[in-house]
Chains A and B, each alone.
Chain A
Amino acid sequence: MRLSILKNCLGALAALAMLSAASVAAKDKISIGLLEDVSGDIALMGAPKLNGTMLAVEEINKAGGIMGRQVEVTHLDPQMDNARYQEFARRLIKRDKVDVLIGGITSASREAIRPIVNRSDTFYFYTNQYEGGVCDGDMVSTGAVPEQQFSTLIPWMVEKFGKNVYIIAADYNFGQLSAVWTRSILGKLGGNVIGEEFIPLGVSQFGQTIQNIQKAKPDWLMMLNVGAAQDSFFEQAAAAKLNVPMGSSIKIMLGFEHKRFSPPALTNMHAVANWFEEINTPAAEDFKKRWHAKFPDEKYINDMGYNAYVTVYMYKMLVEKAQSTKKAALRKVIATGDACIDAPEGRICIDPKSQHTSHHMRLISVDGAHKVHVTKDFGLIKPYWLGEVGCDLTKHDPKEQYDPNHLPKK
């Protein structure tokens, strides 16, 4: 009798030991919580982001993981719904206790989950190009920002086409703030915004807009329209023979409109990007080959997908240098100013003051047959703006988003 109790106890102990061993093994893995929209209006941009993360994780796991620990990804699809973004961010952080949170496409979704990240100990990586200005120690931004995209593109457009600009922008924070940037940079160059239209998301008919543009006769258009419905502008403008040069911070490299619309809809579109599939350096070719081997059906490797891929390696570098997954330890590595990796675009680093990323920027132009040409190579550009206006995350952490009309108090 006694013996059997003892046996049972031993059995239970053994089971307990096994359980805790299993949980140690589970903990041994580094878990990434990933929020990417792979259904809904922007699924076509979100799908490559998921693929980019999965490719990087597969490569890293094959090569022995991060600090010898395998990486696992929990991906949830918020379907471009900000309420779902918040719900899923809470779930990944609180219930799944992920080591790091990555993702978000629109700036609206990023701003929806940033307060949740701020209340946790989880580090967050935002992997898109965006309107810039987020000075938040809990977040690393790995996409391009206005000083890399607008400060390069707008002077070139003004010199090449003229000073009178018409802005068409999606009516939410990305479109509004990018329009502020365009105005600010144009103002310094002596240019004018002669027309500005904000379009509600989901609008697909642009007859009136096209005529407003024809009436205003701008030298070029700043296209900040977002989402599949609003992209219909290009087809409708081409059919009405609008023929005005266009510049953008999100077209071609991000939504691959030149692949989705038949020529000549995107003719004379110019954009500045850190990645586009047409890059043909040896490192880029090698990266594309690996991507297409794993995802043969991918229509276009966009900059979001590329940035998502690079971000996992960025995280790996930080964790291995810090020998920890804790946010404070990773931020210490960033603060040294020596947080760099060799990416397919070249060597890029995280800036200690803003926790944004330097990028190799190129100006690309689309011709009448929708071929993409590199028109100008700007080389490596650091994300300098936040640091210049007074954001220094190594000293204080305001967790604010700034823009040219809303600067930090000195």
Chain B
Amino acid sequence: MFAEIFSIVFQFADVFAFLVLSAAGLAIIFGMMGIINLAHGEFITCGAYVTVIGVQHGLPLPLAQALGVLTAGLIGVVLERTIIHRLYNRPLDSILATWGISLIITQGMLVTMGSSMTGVGTPEGSFQVGEYTFSTYRLVLFAAAVMAMIAIYVLFMRTRYGVQARATMQNPQVARALGVRTPRIYASSFGIGAALAGLCGALYAPTMTLIPTMGITFIVEAFVTVVVGGSNVLIGTVPAAMVLGVIRTSLNAWQGQIIGQIGMLIAVILVIRVLPEGMSGWLLRRKS
């Protein structure tokens, strides 16, 4: 009995981690900054590839992962300064531009680095509960998801930078009048979002197939989590991932992956219909 309950909790934690890590970067870039970033998956791929290349060159896995996060973040800053900063308040144009970037990156990687890469293998370690064995690394993923959420919350709610960033997103003119260097805030926020996407790729790299289009597997989960989370990503992402995680886990366990995926997407439609402002809008309304 304990094994059954543990297994259910473990599966929920696993799905939750996948949703949160997929969505974290997009929550900032799309949720806060309003850029519908269709190149989100490519930042994830970037984090994964840099991690694997790092390990193949002898770096220990955690260091290679840090390098993956950093690289994705830096590429994010460069992209923001060269292309994205022209597209604020132009949502349709930003879709087209980021989609173009995504195509260029995936095809560029296919041409230069080949159609697949050899994986590095999941770090050793497993434990047994009842008749089930689990990979310890999946717990690392869950812990990382929780920590990423806490870090985002602290950064944007408890630091000076966070106040400036939120002010810039809400009213750039006034923020600028008060002396905030808004271009720098935009660039760094986009960079943080890209770095979080890179973190997702870096963490999942040892557990997945490495191909140039691997980021696409995260895209649907990322967007639905952010949309269900609603406009305030700092409050919305975690409850969104929890709700979707519970629905998906129970349907997966009950009827398999097909129904799990269909059920999750139906839930998304229902949430948007009933709560157009997402989870965060609903939570804020209840508070006030």
The interface-forming segment of A121-129, A204-212, A371-379, A389-397 is A204-212
With CB as the reference atom, state the residue of chain B lying closest to A217: B131
> Which B residues lie within 8 Å of A229 (CB)?
208-209, 214, 217
The reply to whether the CB of A197 lies closer than 8 angstroms to some CB of chain B is yes
In the complex, per-residue mask of B200-230: 1 if CB is within 8 Å of any chain A CB, else 0: 0000001111111110110000000000000
Bound Cα distance from A207 to B115, whole angstroms = 26
In the complex, per-residue mask of A247-264: 1 if CB is within 8 Å of any chain B CB, else 0: 000000000000111110
The reply to whether the CB of B120 lies closer than 8 angstroms to some CB of chain A is yes
With CB as the reference atom, state the residue of chain A lying closest to B7: A211
The interface-forming segment of B29-37, B86-94, B248-256 is B248-256
The reply to whether the CB of A58 lies closer than 8 angstroms to some CB of chain B is no
| Given A202-B216, A214-B133, A228-B211, CB of A207 within 8 Å of CB of B10 | yes
| Given A41-B211, A197-B256, CB of A235 within 8 Å of CB of B119 | yes
With CB as the reference atom, state the residue of chain B lying closest to A80: B213
With CB as the reference atom, state the residue of chain A lying closest to B220: A202
A44 to B257, Cβ gap below 8 A? no
The reply to whether the CB of A22 lies closer than 8 angstroms to some CB of chain B is no
Q: Which of A43, A202, A235 contacts B110 (CB 8 A)?
A: A43
In the complex, per-residue mask of B247-281: 1 if CB is within 8 Å of any chain A CB, else 0: 00100110011101100000000000000000000
With CB as the reference atom, state the residue of chain B lying closest to A231: B209
> Which B residues lie within 8 Å of A198 (CB)?
256-258
The reply to whether the CB of A200 lies closer than 8 angstroms to some CB of chain B is yes
Interface centre among A208, A241, A297 (most CB of B within 10 A): A208
> Which B residues lie within 8 Å of A40 (CB)?
213
A239 to B135, Cβ gap below 8 A? yes
With CB as the reference atom, state the residue of chain A lying closest to B120: A262
| Given A202-B217, A207-B10, A232-B207, CB of A214 within 8 Å of CB of B119 | no
The reply to whether the CB of A135 lies closer than 8 angstroms to some CB of chain B is no
The reply to whether the CB of A73 lies closer than 8 angstroms to some CB of chain B is no
A260 to B256, Cβ gap below 8 A? no
> Which A residues lie within 8 Å of B122 (CB)?
235-236, 238-239
The reply to whether the CB of A203 lies closer than 8 angstroms to some CB of chain B is yes
Q: Which of A211, A231, A238 contacts B11 (CB 8 A)?
A: A211
A214 to B213, Cβ gap below 8 A? no
Bound Cα distance from A203 to B7, whole angstroms = 20
| Given A239-B126, A260-B118, A262-B120, CB of A205 within 8 Å of CB of B14 | yes
The reply to whether the CB of B132 lies closer than 8 angstroms to some CB of chain A is yes
The reply to whether the CB of A111 lies closer than 8 angstroms to some CB of chain B is no
A299 to B208, Cβ gap below 8 A? no
The reply to whether the CB of A308 lies closer than 8 angstroms to some CB of chain B is no
The reply to whether the CB of A334 lies closer than 8 angstroms to some CB of chain B is no
> Which B residues lie within 8 Å of A214 (CB)?
131-133
> Which B residues lie within 8 Å of A231 (CB)?
209
Chain B proximity of A207: nearest CB distance (Å):
4
Q: Which of A200, A202, A207, A259 contacts B138 (CB 8 A)?
A: A207
The reply to whether the CB of A335 lies closer than 8 angstroms to some CB of chain B is no
A239 to B137, Cβ gap below 8 A? yes
The reply to whether the CB of A369 lies closer than 8 angstroms to some CB of chain B is no
With CB as the reference atom, state the residue of chain B lying closest to A202: B217
Q: Which of B7, B15, B211 contacts A205 (CB 8 A)?
A: B15
B261 to A260, Cβ gap below 8 A? no
Bound Cα distance from A39 to B216, whole angstroms = 13
B118 to A261, Cβ gap below 8 A? yes
Chain A positions 251-309 with a Cβ under 8 Å from a chain B Cβ: 259-263, 265, 297, 299
The reply to whether the CB of B49 lies closer than 8 angstroms to some CB of chain A is no
| Given A202-B216, A297-B114, CB of A240 within 8 Å of CB of B134 | yes
B107 to A39, Cβ gap below 8 A? yes
> Which A residues lie within 8 Å of B10 (CB)?
207
Bound Cα distance from A208 to B258, whole angstroms = 12
With CB as the reference atom, state the residue of chain A lying closest to B10: A207
B211 to A43, Cβ gap below 8 A? yes
B214 to A240, Cβ gap below 8 A? no
> Which B residues lie within 8 Å of A199 (CB)?
257-258
The reply to whether the CB of B121 lies closer than 8 angstroms to some CB of chain A is yes
> Which A residues lie within 8 Å of B106 (CB)?
39
Bound Cα distance from A239 to B119, whole angstroms = 13
| Given A197-B257, A299-B114, CB of A265 within 8 Å of CB of B121 | yes
The reply to whether the CB of B159 lies closer than 8 angstroms to some CB of chain A is no
A171 to B258, Cβ gap below 8 A? yes
A241 to B116, Cβ gap below 8 A? no
The reply to whether the CB of B190 lies closer than 8 angstroms to some CB of chain A is no
Bound Cα distance from A238 to B124, whole angstroms = 10
> Which A residues lie within 8 Å of B43 (CB)?
none
Bound Cα distance from A44 to B227, whole angstroms = 33
Bound Cα distance from A238 to B126, whole angstroms = 10
With CB as the reference atom, state the residue of chain B lying closest to A265: B121
Q: Which of A41, A228, A235, A263 contacts B206 (CB 8 A)?
A: A235
Q: Which of A39, A44, A204, A260 contacts B119 (CB 8 A)?
A: A260
Chain A positions 33-64 with a Cβ under 8 Å from a chain B Cβ: 38-41, 43-44, 47
Interface centre among B7, B107, B257 (most CB of A within 10 A): B257
> Which B residues lie within 8 Å of A16 (CB)?
none
Chain B positions 127-184 with a Cβ under 8 Å from a chain A Cβ: 131-135, 137-138
Bound Cα distance from A47 to B252, whole angstroms = 34
In the complex, per-residue mask of A183-203: 1 if CB is within 8 Å of any chain B CB, else 0: 000000000000001111011
Chain B interface (Cβ < 8 Å from any Cβ of A): 7, 10-11, 14-15, 18, 106-107, 110, 114-122, 126, 131-135, 137-138, 206-214, 216-217, 249, 252-253, 256-258, 260-261
Residue contacts A-B, CB under 8 angstroms, 26 given: A39-B106, A39-B107, A40-B213, A41-B211, A41-B216, A43-B115, A43-B212, A44-B115, A198-B258, A199-B258, A207-B14, A207-B15, A208-B257, A208-B260, A215-B132, A229-B214, A235-B122, A236-B135, A236-B207, A238-B122, A239-B138, A260-B116, A260-B210, A261-B209, A265-B119, A299-B114
**12 new A-B contacts at CB < 8 Å, known A209-B257, A211-B132, A239-B126:** A39-B110, A198-B257, A200-B261, A204-B209, A204-B214, A208-B253, A215-B132, A228-B214, A240-B126, A240-B134, A263-B121, A299-B116
Give 8 nearest A-B pairs by CB, closest first: A239-B135, A239-B122, A44-B115, A262-B121, A44-B116, A228-B209, A43-B115, A208-B252
